[in-house]
Structure 1
Amino acid sequence: MPGGDDAHANLDLLPDECLAYIFDFLGSLDRGNCSLVCRRWLLVEGQNQHHLNLRAESDLLPVIPSLFIRFDAVTQLTLKGTDHRFVDDALVLLSLHCHNLTSLKIDKCHDLIDAGMMAVAVNCKRLKKLSCHSCKFSSKGINAVLDHCSSLQVMSLSGQYNVDPAASAAVPVRSSNLRSLEILADCTGDWDNLLTDIVERTSTGLVEVRLMYFRISDVGLAAISNCSNLERLRLVGNSNCTDNAGIVSIANNCKLLSKLCIHGSNNNNKIDDESLIAIAKGCPNLEELALFGINLTCLSLRLLGANCQNLNYLVLRGSDKIGDAEISCIATTCIALRFLFIIDCPAVTNRGMEVLSAACPNRLRIFLAFKGCTTFRFGG
């Protein structure tokens, strides 16, 4: 370095805040190398490290206290599971050293159960985002987080979870800041009641809900309909939704809904035109709509075009009753549409596509895909 001792002296005069600002531009490897230069750089680098990734191994437990003496400003923590056991005791100890934690991601820590999550809930009250993949805790752990983390905004759960009926009780504390709820799981137990409890806790705060591949019925959907500020809803593979009642309830109460995806292709599903008519009448702000395995008619399409004048993105997939008449209806009524996906709808023929392309020569991009065929895109 040019300047020799003078340059080192100048660095010694640099305030800790400026040194930390420089470290922010470095990658993890370079930051690690800088921390070896001297005690001061080690201290500054550690105290300004806000995001930490840890391999969740059994031998992590004894080093947690010393680890967080150095990294005492961590606000975002990621725990990645391995073949080794990572037990609740380790998560309890972590929570005691991370009072300022705002984001926690736990990935494949199969041996974590309720005790660890309950400790996180009690000790990390500033938590805003929780993401758990393939953990074994039950609704007791989920309820504990909702009870104590009033700043929680995003909760994402994927994997296998069990709803404990004894844990679904009236709750004195409301996580009124919860904005996004995602559950992608093979779950057992009464999730309808748990969803009802979550909605009661969050009041009208939820703006996004994604429920995929787990057991929720129309009772659970009716509970979600109480989220009057809901803007984005995705329902995929919810095998216990057997008729239109749940969707109709959402359409009647969630007036701000702008993005909606319904995957209704399971054998028990009876969601049909009645739900789409309710959506068209009750959701005037709808911009994006994706329908899988749902048979709609020209009646609901006309209402969508007339009432949802901001609808610009439409996906129709896996319906054997959507044909040329419905495609022609889309061409004449959905005037704001910019993107149209038609996938595995065998009743659609060249005649319907000709009407569509003639009515929307420039404004509409159309994507076609059929089983065994290449995807085609034209228009716009």
Structure 2
Amino acid sequence: MSVLEENPDSPLKKRPPRWSDIWLKKTKPLKHVVFAMQLQSLASKDPKSQTLIPHFANIDRTLLLSDELLLKILSKLPLSQRNPNSLVCKRWLYLQGRLVRSLKILDWNFLVSGRLITRFPNLAHVDLLNGCLFSPRNSGILLTHRMVSMQMRYGNCSNWELLEENLLPVEVVDGGLQALANGCPNLRRLVVINASELGLLTLAEECLTLQELELHKCNDNVLRGIAACENLQILKLVGNVDGLYCSLVSDVGLTILAQGCKRLVKLELSGCEGSFDGIKAIGQCCLMLEELTICDHRMEDGWLAALSYCENLKTLRLLSCKRIDLDPGPDEYLGFCPSLERLHLQKCQLRSKKSVRALFRVCEAVREVVVLDCWGLDNDMFTFASVCRRVKFLSLEGCSLLTTEGLEATVLSWLDLETLVVVSCKNIKESDISPALATLFCNLIELRWRPDAKSLLSSSLMGTGMGKKGGKFFKRT
């Protein structure tokens, strides 16, 4: 036996190499890190050395960054990380509040106490609709409407009585608007209910950049305050809502609105009354108006003829209208909108042939026609659309009374038609497609054909090249 074997503690014996020795060999930065960690452990054991060796792990290195620089960094992060980032520290909570631009208020005290402005000083879009409603938090009954959602104590009263009972008084709403105007001078969009003329006047004086406003439970007197918003571009007025509340917007309010808000680009009138005079005033004064939406209107007969005064109108939408215009007057007084490009009808009742005929005549310059879930549109009604010779886009959905024959009679007269969409129109049958209509399909740029669940036309035309602009055989000149 050798000497090395007899003496295992001899310094001449070589121990097997360790992974740490191989890993740290020729890695000076890692040695510095290990050395710093060792110093940190020694400092934690020796209280006297804690003043000499800093705790690197407890230092907030973001303190070296200014608020402006850190704000730019936080603004680059995705929105999903906004709430977790605000929990890091009070400074990050404050900076994240400066990044918030849009907010929906649910607690009115949060606004009037001033905490809203302190927490979110740079708000541009504020929704006060649900905040204006006082409702118990621990109630098991929830009232949901297409405009509001609130909890209720009991269910033995009408929706109108419930809303009136739980709606904040006008004076309280005006006080909240004043606090919002004083704290958010750069406000651009606001949604509010049950405001008065004085509250809106305060808002107009302080928030000169206000561009979009949505008013619920609006009336003619409230519109006097809106007229002071000279830079207003987008406006939605909600007057009467069946089953929820009742408020009157007539020709008087529409005229006041037209004379004050001359820079309007988009206007939506929901549940509003009026007539020819109110729409005419809007057309003559609001020369920049490009989009008009009329929802569930209560207007008097003859209002359609006033649309011809909207010379720059490009989009006309009719939503949930029980009638269009039962007595539009003679054709020579109707006129037409020369710049109109889009006509959208959704959930409207097209009962009167006279109304539908007058509507298409006023909109004869349109290039896009969309009809969605409108009751009463049969072959005779759709024939009136033939006057619109410049249509390039047609979308029909939920028109159960229209047949293939009625569709063909109109679309064959549109020589510029490029896109056709037919969905859920059960009386349009593929077996009734004529050779002329099939030829039209081949010349279209886009065809979406699904009149019923059994439609096979789309699958049978796969690979033919139809619907691809610039195809070898179907190129349009």
TM-score where L is the length of structure 1:
0.75
- Structure 1 residue aligned with 2:288: 205
Q: Structure 2 residue aligned with 1:67, among 106, 111, 116?
A: 116
Q: Which runs of 5+ in 2 are unaligned?
A: 1-36, 38-53, 136-166, 241-246, 459-466, 468-477
Compared CA separation, residues 336 and 217, structure 1 to 2 (3 A): same
Secondary structure in 1 aligned to 2:86? helix
Q: Structure 2 residue aligned with 1:124, among 202, 207, 211?
A: 207
Q: Distance in 2 between matches of 1:377 and 1:247?
A: 43
Give the number of aligned pairs.
Answer: 354
- Structure 2 residue aligned with 1:179: 265
How far apart are residue 30 of structure 1 and its match?
2.4
Secondary structure in 2 aligned to 1:148? coil
How far apart are residue 55 of structure 1 and its match?
0.8
How far apart are residue 328 of structure 1 and its match?
4.9
Q: Are 2:86 and 1:32 equivalent residues in the alignment?
A: yes
Give the conservation status (yes or no) of the 8 Å contact 1:247–1:275. no
Q: What letter is aligned with 1:17?
A: E
Q: Which runs of 5+ in 1 are unaligned?
A: none
Compared CA separation, residues 377 and 83, structure 1 to 2 (3 A): farther
Superposition pairs for residues 1-380 of structure 1, below 5 Å? Answer: 5=56, 8=59, 10-24=61-75, 25=77, 26=79, 27-34=81-88, 36-38=89-91, 41-57=92-108, 59-60=109-110, 62-63=112-113, 65-81=114-130, 82-84=133-135, 85-86=167-168, 87-88=172-173, 89-106=175-192, 109=193, 111-132=194-215, 135-145=216-226, 147-158=227-238, 160=240, 161-163=247-249, 167=253, 174-185=260-271, 187=272, 189-190=273-274, 193-202=277-286, 204-236=287-319, 237=321, 239=323, 241-245=325-329, 252-262=335-345, 265-267=349-351, 270-273=354-357, 275-276=359-360, 279-280=363-364, 283=365, 286-290=367-371, 292=374, 293-294=376-377, 295-296=380-381, 301=386, 303-304=387-388, 307-308=389-390, 311-315=392-396, 318=399, 320=401, 324=405, 326-328=407-409, 330-331=411-412, 333-341=414-422, 344=425, 346=427, 350-352=431-433, 355-361=436-442, 363=444, 364-369=446-451, 374=453, 376=455, 378-379=457-458, 380=467
Give the conservation status (yes or no) of the 8 Å contact 1:149–1:175. yes
Secondary structure in 2 aligned to 1:144? helix
Compared CA separation, residues 48 and 351, structure 1 to 2 (3 A): closer
How far apart are residue 54 of structure 1 and its match?
1.6
TM-score where L is the length of structure 2:
0.61
Bigger strand share: 1
Give the conservation status (yes or no) of the 8 Å contact 1:163–1:191. no
Q: What letter is aligned with 1:76?
A: H
Give the conservation status (yes or no) of the 8 Å contact 1:324–1:348. no
**Structure of greater Rg:** 2
Identity, % of aligned pairs?
19
Q: Distance in 2 between matches of 1:332 and 1:168?
A: 39
- CA deviation vs aligned residue, 1:194-252 (integer Å, no higher than 9, x gap): 444444442x11111111112124543333322211111012315261145599877x4
- Structure 1 residue aligned with 2:44: none
| Cα root mean square deviation, aligned | 3.9
Give the conservation status (yes or no) of the 8 Å contact 2:283–2:311. no
Deviates more, 1:206-215 or 1:335-344: 335-344
Compared CA separation, residues 5 and 157, structure 1 to 2 (3 A): farther
Q: Distance in 2 between matches of 1:233 and 1:162?
A: 23
How far apart are residue 100 of structure 1 and its match?
1.2
Q: What letter is aligned with 2:354?
A: K
Larger relative contact order (CA 8 Å, sep ≥ 6): 1
Compared CA separation, residues 196 and 299, structure 1 to 2 (3 A): closer
